Structure 1
């Protein structure tokens, strides 16, 4: 079956340093705080956030995302000097049984004057019988997570300085 790649870009009214810190380095702390109705916890169950580390996300029952169990992502690349992060979904969640793999690559480009572009490439490798509507659901969920963090750091100029 073919792979599908979805590209998304966000202009963020914050420096790429702040965006990377909030959306990558400190995401385990910020997401359960910003979305307690969806995310019960996020933590590294193996490693310290560098390549090879495993991050586990546990969703609340009320979110409707808990049925597939906790999601685990393996960090493939974490390069704060070049503002690049890549991870692969390796287990769990409602989407995983329909996929061979899902790879997320996030880069941040400086626009100057406390602005940056966040570029997200999500590569879906679906199993036979998986429809585009399933992929769209995954894309929409990821988009809401990014939007919440962006809104938070834009509204609080002291956050993650």
Structure 2
């Protein structure tokens, strides 16, 4: 099994606890609202939001994928960390066993927060990725955080 890992950071003016709440606890409602072309729905199909919870993501019309299931591994509201992984669905493209994400949200030096993301792609075989493919993945994650940031800035009472 091959492993591809990349790290990225996103700086945002949103305070850490608010960004964490929005990304971890409220994203099931927010993402389909602000990115309907990307997310049709996100629903809990097993669990209570804690470790072991399974969510089904149904992608929107702009996606070439239909669905993915993601498992919550370790949400920690005190440390503002969140680990989860995609474990099933056509978004794994029959080449990944799973994709895991470790998110950590920290206070930024000038206020706001720094959202750190480590993505790990577990390939079923010995698959090589180009820098362009990795860049595309980072751009999608960046777009997700920036869309959430825009929503929070426009809705100061949300989250």
Q: Is the 8 A contact 2:46 2:53 kept in 1?
A: yes
CA distance in structure 2 between the partners assigned to 1:136 and 1:46 by the alignment? 33
Q: For residue 65 of structure 1, what is the aligned residue in structure 2?
A: 64
Q: Is the 8 A contact 2:2 2:127 kept in 1?
A: no
Q: 1:109 aligns with which of 106, 109, 115?
A: 106
Deviation at residue 143 of structure 1 after TM alignment: 2.7
Q: Is the 8 A contact 1:24 1:85 kept in 2?
A: yes
Gaps of 5+ in 2: none
Deviation at residue 100 of structure 1 after TM alignment: 1.9
Q: For residue 95 of structure 2, what is the aligned residue in structure 1?
A: 98
CA distance in structure 1 between the partners assigned to 2:48 and 2:93 by the alignment? 24
Q: For residue 27 of structure 1, what is the aligned residue in structure 2?
A: 27
Deviation at residue 11 of structure 1 after TM alignment: 1.1
Alpha-carbon RMSD: 2.0
**TM-score for both structures, normalised by structure 2:** 0.88
Kindly tell me: are residues 136 and 56 of structure 1, through their superposed partners in 2, closer, same or farther at Cα, counting changes over 3 Å?
farther
Gaps of 5+ in 1: none
Deviation at residue 47 of structure 1 after TM alignment: 0.8
Q: For residue 139 of structure 2, what is the aligned residue in structure 1?
A: 140
Kindly tell me: are residues 35 and 105 of structure 1, through their superposed partners in 2, closer, same or farther at Cα, counting changes over 3 Å?
same
Q: Is the 8 A contact 2:10 2:142 kept in 1?
A: no
Q: 1:119 aligns with which of 110, 116, 121?
A: 116
Structure 1 runs (4+) greater than 4 angstroms displaced: 133-137
Q: For residue 18 of structure 2, what is the aligned residue in structure 1?
A: 18
Q: For residue 157 of structure 1, what is the aligned residue in structure 2?
A: 156
Aligned length: 157
